[in-house]
């Protein structure tokens, strides 16, 4: 499936668009990890416009978990800067629908739920810097084990803004210490896609008691000669939605992302 | 003492030269940590010329522990690029004299031991990046506790070159995890003064069984909410001399360094 998507017969089509069209047609329903290599993927958060201003300020105040790659016009399902012919209602493999802070459904298409008052936010994703790690020969455990990255709600509070507050969510990758050091260097180049880790080594200090029980995604093996390295995660808005309980929201399903037409390299600062 | 040195009455004198003259006069005998802020300090290794070529190749092959800041002409005790009126025989607070791999004396002046066939190497020192850490508000434990930085012989082998081989020596600073991440970023800018850490978090993996028993320098407190962070150390030549057993060598005494006239900022790569 992944190869079929990556080698679309239309040679002029960017690989991100090929992935999006595969989602739109219903052919692709799972994780987007490793797809359209070289192109940035994004987390989705969709909120009614009366909350959008506060949420934008919340993201601005929390750039590590919520680095904004793009924002739609009110009512629009397009963000042209992130991709041609992009439909945020259909182009992500899976969606979560939220009512009053409760997730009420997981669906693969939200066309019938879209409203004229919705504003969509696309937030940077760690898949971008993972590519840099893999290029250096650093193994990514959840890729090796073919599961979703493990994610945890932490005791680190986000900076509040208006109605929005809540705990930061982090993703975890176990790494040998020397790879952890290299990973800090590599991911530091990409502040728009979470940047450097927020923690390493001592998970209980950030409220994580059991690495084997992630709050989102799947557990992965952590070896005795590895330390867990934690990055701020674009799933944070989902923990915030559960805290703030907005009347209505749509997010992506963790691990299944929007694939954009922006190159990861565009987000490197040095 | 430190303030007296730093505020020399000769306003045209660079602070490094003031420290060197204080050493030369015998007024300064202890650690140079925190002296001549903004200026690079260096480790010393002096060897007979028949070993100098191999040692230079050894340093080139091991740039993290042995980044060379300067090399003297054969028989010379000067390295003009590192400082005006610099005398390597007198300008360091303490020296170690080595015969057949054994340290036979610690002295504060090596004029009477100098020979026409000696070549001096000055190797970068972690005091340079410590200044960057302190400027960010990151506490350096051995500075806070007013002792020498703890250093350990590791199980990490240096890359051999000619006669030279042996274990890498590392310096250790305990840091809160978020400070450890920032310290990787800051020290990465200074590859000429050891650069990024070589290890963090799991000292037994690099052959360190007890942090309370350093091989050089002094032990420091490591708190429960901190991880030990290890940088390659310019004392490595001393462990190599003990391994290789050259007929004659002079080094600095760990913690008491050559203060140069080169600014730390000159060594930043970005």
pLDDT at residue B269 greater than cutoff 90: no
CB contact, 8 Å: A269 with chain B? no
pLDDT of residue B10: 54
Question: What is the model's pLDDT at position A73?
Answer: 96
- pLDDT tens sequence across A129-188: 999 999 999 999 999 999 989 999 999 999 999 999 999 999 999 999 999 999 999 999
CB B141 within 8 A of CB A158: no
The strand pairing partners of A259, in sequence order, are A41
pLDDT at A8 over 50: no
Provide the pLDDT for residue B3. 42
In this predicted structure, the answer to whether residue B4 has a pLDDT above a threshold of 80 is no
What is the spatial distance between Cα A130 and Cα A186, in angstroms, rounded to a whole number?
9
Beta bridge partners of B123: B43, B68
pLDDT over 60 (residue B88): yes
* Whole-number Å distance between alpha carbons of B252 and B29: 12
Task: Give the whole-angstrom CA distance, residue A45 versus residue A118.
Answer: 10
CB A197 within 8 A of CB A227: no
**In this structure, what token pair is assigned to residue B105?**
């004396």
Host H or E run for residue A69: strand A68-71
Record: contact B177-A200, CB cut-off 8 A: yes
What the block records as the tokens of A42 is 């994004």
Q: Are A222 and A228 in contact (CB under 8 A)?
A: yes
Q: What is the DSSP string of A124-185?
A: E-THHHHHHHHHTT---HHHHTTSPPPEEEEEEEPPPBTTB--EEEEEEEEE-HHHHHHHHH
pLDDT of residue A76: 97
Q: Tens digit of pLDDT for each residue in B198-230?
A: 999 999 999 999 999 999 999 999 999 999 999
Percent of chain A with pLDDT over 90: 87
- Please compute the mean of the pLDDT values over residues A66-86 and round it to a whole number: 96
Q: Which residues of B touch A202 (CB under 8 A)?
A: 177, 225, 227
Q: What integer pLDDT is reported at residue B258 of this predicted model? A: 97
**Chain B residues closer than 8 Å to A200 by CB:** 177, 180-181, 200-201, 227
* pLDDT digits 0-9 by tens, A233-250: 999 999 999 999 999 999
What's the complex ipTM? 0.83
The CA distance from A209 to A192, in Å, is: 29
Reported pTM: 0.87
Answer yes or no: is pLDDT of B7 > 50: no
In sequence order, what are the residues at sequence separation of 6 or more whose Cβ sits closer than 8 angstroms to the Cβ of residue B170? B151, B152, B154, B156, B198, B199, B206, B230, B231, B232, B233
Gap from A253 CA to chain B (nearest CA, Å): 29
| A202 to B270: CB separation less than 8 angstroms, yes or no | no
A2-11, A174-183, B8-17, B61-70, range with the lowest pLDDT:
A2-11
Q: What is the pLDDT of residue A3?
A: 42
Say if B185 is an interface residue toward chain A (CB within 8 Å): yes
User: Domains of chain A (ranges plus CATH)?
Assistant: 127-236 (3.30.2040.10)
A234-248 CB burial, b ≥16 within 10 A, e <16: bbbbbbbbbebebeb
The alpha carbon of residue A166 is apart from the nearest alpha carbon of chain B, in Å, by: 20
| More confident of the two residues B12 and B83 | B83
Average pLDDT over residues B3-21: 71
Task: Give residue A98's Cα distance to chain centre.
Answer: 17
- Taking a C-beta distance cutoff of 8 angstroms, is the pair B7, B15 a contact? no
Whether the CB of B136 is below 8 Å from some CB of chain A: the reply is: no
- Dig out the tokens for B17 from the structure: 């030269």
């Amino acid at each position: 499936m992944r190869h079929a998507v990556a080698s679309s017969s239309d040679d002029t089509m960017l690989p991100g668009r090929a992935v999006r069209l595969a989602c739109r047609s219903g052919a692709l329903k799972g994780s987007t990890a490793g797809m359209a290599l070289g192109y940035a993927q994004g987390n989705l958060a969709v909120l009614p416009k009366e909350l959008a201003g506060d949420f934008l300020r919340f993201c601005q105040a929390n750039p590590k978990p919520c680095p904004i790659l793009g924002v739609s016009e009110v009512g629009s399902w397009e963000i042209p800067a992130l991709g041609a012919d992009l439909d945020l209602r259909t182009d992500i493999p899976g969606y979560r629908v939220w009512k009053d802070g409760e997730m009420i459904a997981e669906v693969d298409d939200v066309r019938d739920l879209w409203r004229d008052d919705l504003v969509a936010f696309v937030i940077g994703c760690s898949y971008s810097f993972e590519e840099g790690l893999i290029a250096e020969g650093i193994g990514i455990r959840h890729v090796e084990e073919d599961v979703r990255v493990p994610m945890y709600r932490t005791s680190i509070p986000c900076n509040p803004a208006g109605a929005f507050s809540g705990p930061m969510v982090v993703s975890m990758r176990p790494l040998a210490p020397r790879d952890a050091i290299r990973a800090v260097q590599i991911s530091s180049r990409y502040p728009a896609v979470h940047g450097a880790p927020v923690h390493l080594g001592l998970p209980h200090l950030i409220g994580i008691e059991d690495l084997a029980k992630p709050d989102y995604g799947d557990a992965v093996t952590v070896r005795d000669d590895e330390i867990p390295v934690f990055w701020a995660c674009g799933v944070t808005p989902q923990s915030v939605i559960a805290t703030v309980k907005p009347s209505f929201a749509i997010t992506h399903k963790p691990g299944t992302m929007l694939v954009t037409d922006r190159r990861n390299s565009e987000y490197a600062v040095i």
